[in-house]
Amino acid sequence: MGSIAHQQEEIMGRTLAEKVWEQHVVRRAEGEPDLLYIDLHLIHEVTSPQAFDGLRLAGRKVRRPDLTIATEDHNVPTVLGPIADPVSKTQVETLRKNAAEFGIRLHPMGDAGQGVVHIIGPQFGLTQPGMTIVCGDSHTSTHGAFGGIAFGIGTSEVEHVLATQTLPAYRPKTMAIEVSGELPVGVTAKDLILAIIAKIGTGGGQGYIVEYRGEAVRKLSMEGRMTICNMSIEAGARAGMIAPDETTFAYLKGRPHAPEGEAWDQAVEYWKSLRTDDDAVFDKVVEIDASTLTPYVTWGTNPGQGLPLGETVPSPESFDDPVARAAAERALEYMGLTAGTPLREIEVDTVFVGSCTNGRIEDLRSAAEILRGRQVRTRTLIVPGSMMVKRQAEQEGLHEVFKAAGAEWREAGCSMCLGMNPDTLKPGERSASTSNRNFEGRQGKGGRTHLVSPQVAAATAVTGRLTAPADL
């Protein structure tokens, strides 16, 4: 970036993304990407083994093990016992060896701090406003809910961060998604983000950092904000963020790694400056009215193929764009759906409540509220996002509600979100899932996924077909 652009920015005011980015530039040179400092590096077993191998081959060390934390999540079984799959077992054991060799804190299976990588960072208070956070996982965007820049990286970049605690990167453009109005009762953060992705498409956010703004966003809990930022990547954006406010500070206060005493006051003062200036200009602005939304569900094989639950399966002919039409045709074939079928009539075999999108305590509470005193008709997996979430849910008695309803109460992990552990769909099976991706085969080869909120998932479990809580 040249000096003129710099001066202009100072005159024009800056967006939240620009402020956080500028704070982390280690080195800037004409014609090169910025060298960006990384405040926190999260690691799991799937995308790290080849990175550690690379370090060993080059004789390099981990520069900042004290800014790195590892957990086991993708492969872990959600029933007690050892890992049966020898390949999964090797991968988890490889992480343990690497963490020990390079001196990295690890929360292994069975540990009270274990859980999905994007759930444990915030729970420990390691995710804080204004930070740069990366992980070899595209849903790292979750952490942007605290007002930092958080994005997923590949294994080469994992190795780069391990070795240097930095990444060379060009600053993405900025997009504001302005959400006006209030979410109606029964409509959740998940419905809002599914509606946003349906509106802008799976490529709509490519090249942008998205800042979610507006009344409806301000009123969301941290859990809801994390759900929104989590799925930024499904709209193509590498990062999504929400300016920190009192809700953020209240969530953080007292967590194990949150600042204390004078440092807390200093931090809060700085965090309060982390907002987009009134006169800042975004490269793109998208507006959406929350008050018009109803529960959303996907009907196709990408997260942009979503509609309000009250609609019918769309006809491919209804799409003007030939690419979208071809995608819809293929999606209906894969999903085994006929155009014109009311979405409410689609029957499912399995309901999954969990994942880094919707595996937090608030999600489990809202599912339990619907299942209390009712019986499920489908196989229903309730998978807490972390052992801490599990413990809290059990303290609140939620597990008894789930079990009484006939649902399965599981151990923490990624589980059926991507089926790397034994929790999978069989070919042709259909799920209502609170996870983030409805890709072909995502939850198991030949499996068919409908993305929904925890409330819709629970109501669907009760009736066996896609259902909103208000329908019960």
Partner 1 sequence: MEAFTTHTGTAVPLRRSNVDTDQIIPAVWLKQVSRTGFEKGLFAAWREDPTFVLNDPAYEGGTILVSGPDFGTGSSREHAVWALQQYGFRVVIAARFGDIFRNNSTKMGLLPVVLPAEKVEGLQAAVEADPKLEVTVDLAVRQVRWADEVVPFEIDDYTRWRLMEGLDDIGLTLRHADDITAYENGRQPWLPTTV
C-beta closer to partner 1: residue 419 or 469 = 419
DSSP designation for 465: B
C-beta closer to partner 1: residue 305 or 460 = 305
Q: Considering only residues 266-305, where is the footprint of partner 1 by CB under 8 A?
A: 266-267, 270, 301-302
Q: Which of 444, 305, 297, 304 is nearest to 379 (CA)?
A: 444
C-beta closer to partner 1: residue 94 or 221 = 94
- Closest approach of partner 1 to the CB of residue 87, in Å: 4
> Would you tell me how many other CB atoms lie within 10 Å of the CB of residue 101?
12
Residue count (the chain): 472
Q: Which residues of 263-289 are buried (b: 16+ CB within 10 A; e: fewer)?
A: eeeebbeebeebbbeeebebeeebebe
Instruction: Choose which of 76, 109, 153, 387 interacts with partner 1 (CB under 8 A).
Output: 153
- Closest approach of partner 1 to the CB of residue 220, in Å: 24
Q: Considering only residues 205-264, where is the footprint of partner 1 by CB under 8 A?
A: 206-207, 233-234, 236-238, 257-259, 263-264
Q: Which of 310, 356, 307 is nearest to 335 (CA)?
A: 307
Among the listed ranges 33-41, 214-222, 282-290, 338-346, the one in contact with partner 1 (CB under 8 A) is: 33-41
Q: Site for partner 1 (CB under 8 A): how many residues?
A: 88
- Closest approach of partner 1 to the CB of residue 147, in Å: 14
**Inter-residue contact 408 to 77 (CB < 8 Å):** no
Q: Is 128 in the site for partner 1 (CB under 8 A)?
A: yes
Q: Considering only residues 165-184, where is the footprint of partner 1 by CB under 8 A?
A: 165-166, 168, 170, 172
CA dihedral 116, 144, 227, 412 (to 10 degrees): 10
Q: Is 78 in the site for partner 1 (CB under 8 A)?
A: no
C-beta closer to partner 1: residue 140 or 227 = 140
- Closest approach of partner 1 to the CB of residue 399, in Å: 28
What are the strands, taking DSSP E only, across 372-411?
A: 379-382, 408-409
- CA atoms of 104 and 145, how far apart (whole Å): 25
Q: Considering only residues 310-329, where is the footprint of partner 1 by CB under 8 A?
A: 323-324, 326-327
Q: Is 203 in the site for partner 1 (CB under 8 A)?
A: yes
Q: Which of 239, 196, 237 is nearest to 214 (CA)?
A: 196
- CA atoms of 400 and 409, how far apart (whole Å): 9
- CA atoms of 71 and 77, how far apart (whole Å): 14
Site string for partner 1, 87-126 (x = CB under 8 A): xx-xx--x----------x-------------------xx
Instruction: Choose which of 9, 73, 137, 363 interacts with partner 1 (CB under 8 A).
Output: 137
- Closest approach of partner 1 to the CB of residue 96, in Å: 12
Q: How far are the Cα atoms of 52, 175, 177, 200, 393 from residue 206, in angstroms, in the given order?
A: 29, 10, 14, 10, 37
Q: Considering only residues 413-452, where is the footprint of partner 1 by CB under 8 A?
A: 418-420, 437, 439-442, 445
